[in-house]
Amino acid sequence: MWYVLNRLFGWDYVAWSNSAAQGVARVHNDGTGRCYYWRYKGTQLADEIKTEEQVFWLTCEPSKYLVKTEAQ
């Protein structure tokens, strides 16, 4: 389903997992340029994506959302 939504609307998706659950979520940008995904949308729990290794990128390259700075 995420592949179809990517093709139709251009939305990007990541696969995430933790010790309790796993899933696929849409990548969002907030007003300051940070990217995040809704881990548990029903309970309003969002996770900021800080490194490209944090999630598995399904429909795009991490460089589309994560900008390398000289400080990193």
Q: What angle do CA 54, 64, 20 make, to 5 degrees?
A: 25
**pLDDT at 45 (0 to 100):** 86
Q: Is residue 49 part of a domain?
A: yes
Q: Is residue 68 part of a domain?
A: no
**End-to-end Cα spacing for the chain:** 35
DSSP state of 45: E
Q: How confident is the model at residue 26 (pLDDT cuts 50, 70, 90)?
A: very high
DSSP state of 37: E
Residue range 60-70: mean pLDDT, rounded = 79
How many domains does the structure of the chain reveal? 1
Q: Whole-angstrom Cα distance, residue 12 to residue 3?
A: 9
Q: Is residue 70 part of a domain?
A: no
More confident residue, 43 or 21: 21
Domain with 22 in it: 2-63
Q: Is residue 39 part of a domain?
A: yes
CB atoms near residue 24 (< 10 Å): 15
CB atoms near residue 23 (< 10 Å): 14
Q: Is residue 71 part of a domain?
A: no
Q: Is residue 52 part of a domain?
A: yes
